[in-house]
Amino acid sequence: MSSLDYPFAGLPGPGSTLQVAPGVRWLRMPLPFQLDHINLWLLDDATDGDAGVTIVDTGIGNPETRALWEKLLPQKVKRIIITHYHPDHAGNAAWLCERFGVDLWTTQGEYLTAHAVRAGSAGYTSDAVLEVFRKNGLDEARLGAMVTRRNRYAALVPDFPQSYRRVIDGDRIRIGAREWRVIVGYGHAPEHASLYCEELGVVIAGDMLLSTISTNVSVWSVDPEGDPLRLFLESVARYRELPPGVLVLPSHGKPFRGAHTRVDELEKHHRERFSDLMPCLNEPRSAGELLGVLFKRPLDAHQTFFAMGEAIAHLHYLYYAGRARRAVGADGIMRYAKV
């Protein structure tokens, strides 16, 4: 099916690392989700005989992950980089920064969003999410199953640094003997940072380019009229600017080669979702009514949350591309129809 090449047969075991390129080591941390692991990266950061490591992404902030970190942590860590604010990436950033007295490096969008989500402010509240889903046609029974007063993010990211080092698109970060270029991508998170090392032919893709699953691209309550799918597709297309043989280090699954092929596949995947949706838009339909078209399997409350965000993202794409029109009905629900 896929013509991606996976150069590493094995996986790093719990509490161990596997070298994937000179000075680049791969480790995996468990996740208590359906997606059961995250890949993190250790980059050699020796300068002038001063040994040390840069850590890229940190795992969720729970005792199990920290116990594994204890087995792996080098003597000296020089900086922590997170690709984006999601809890599996950001959960131990504060813990590691404090422990080693070092800075967190990330983009402004990711840094501020982590704080906003932890605080449940700036539109990142359960009520705001439910309101967006209600307006997009999710029925009361399924809405009710999602009601929670718990801040799940704050449970997984128990603390977050009070200051950071800001990086922006195109920045070149010297890590040990090598230079890594920041590539900012949109659509999955506000300002996701990937890191590309031309000398090694390696890109740390984070969640922007995954090998076997398509990246979650959702409309969120903080930006309820956004077009994240357009942003995502434009962002992944930039991977075509990298050499076709670049080794992609994704946050989930195995390292692979075939970035350009994978971009083709993702574009095809989303085109197929649009083809699934269009015949259903002869009559005005809401995102809630179309969930079953996009997601064939039964969804629990947690999956419905992500599925709704994705369904709205696909409809927004069609709307902003001029392929669908939309109107709010007397019942307050937004429905989309073919142009």
**What does the binding site for Zn ion look like in residue numbers (CB under 5 A)?**
86, 207
Q: Which is nearer to Zn ion, 31 or 311 (CB)?
A: 31
Q: Which is nearer to Zn ion, 86 or 285 (CB)?
A: 86
Q: How far is the CB of 124 from Zn ion (least distance, A)?
A: 15
Q: How far apart are CA 225 and CA 12, in angstroms?
A: 41
Q: How far is the CB of 207 from Zn ion (least distance, A)?
A: 4
Q: How far apart are CA 308 and CA 326, in angstroms?
A: 17
Q: How far is the CB of 188 from Zn ion (least distance, A)?
A: 6
Q: Which is nearer to Zn ion, 13 or 33 (CB)?
A: 33
Q: How far is the CB of 57 from Zn ion (least distance, A)?
A: 10
Q: How far is the CB of 30 from Zn ion (least distance, A)?
A: 16
Q: Which is nearer to Zn ion, 86 or 270 (CB)?
A: 86
Return the closest-CA partner of residue 96 out of 31, 176, 144, 29: 29
Residue 324, beta-bridge partner list? 338
Residue 38, beta-bridge partner list? 29
Q: How far is the CB of 194 from Zn ion (least distance, A)?
A: 12
Q: Which is nearer to Zn ion, 66 or 86 (CB)?
A: 86
CA 200 to centroid of chain Cα atoms = 24
Helix (H, G, I), strand (E, B) or coil at 257: strand
Structure tokens at 160: 């977050």
200 and 22 in contact (C-beta within 8 Å)? Answer: yes
Q: Which is nearer to Zn ion, 19 or 214 (CB)?
A: 214
Q: How far is the CB of 326 from Zn ion (least distance, A)?
A: 28
191 and 208 in contact (C-beta within 8 Å)? Answer: no
Q: Give the number of residues written for the chain.
A: 339
With tokens 């993202």, the residue in question is 313
Q: How far is the CB of 252 from Zn ion (least distance, A)?
A: 9
Q: How far is the CB of 86 from Zn ion (least distance, A)?
A: 4
Q: Which is nearer to Zn ion, 216 or 221 (CB)?
A: 216
315: which residues sit within 8 A by CB, 6+ positions away? 277, 287, 290, 324, 326, 336
Using CA atoms in the order 215, 217, 221, 222, what is the torsion angle rounded to 10 degrees? 90
Helix axes 126-135, 301-320, angle to 10 degrees: 60
- What is the bridge-based pairing of β-strands 104-106 and 165-166? parallel
Side by side, which strands form the sheet with 256-257? 172-175, 178-185, 192-197, 202-206, 247-250, 256-257
Q: Which is nearer to Zn ion, 295 or 306 (CB)?
A: 306
Q: Which is nearer to Zn ion, 136 or 216 (CB)?
A: 216
Q: How far apart are CA 46 and CA 23, in angstroms?
A: 10
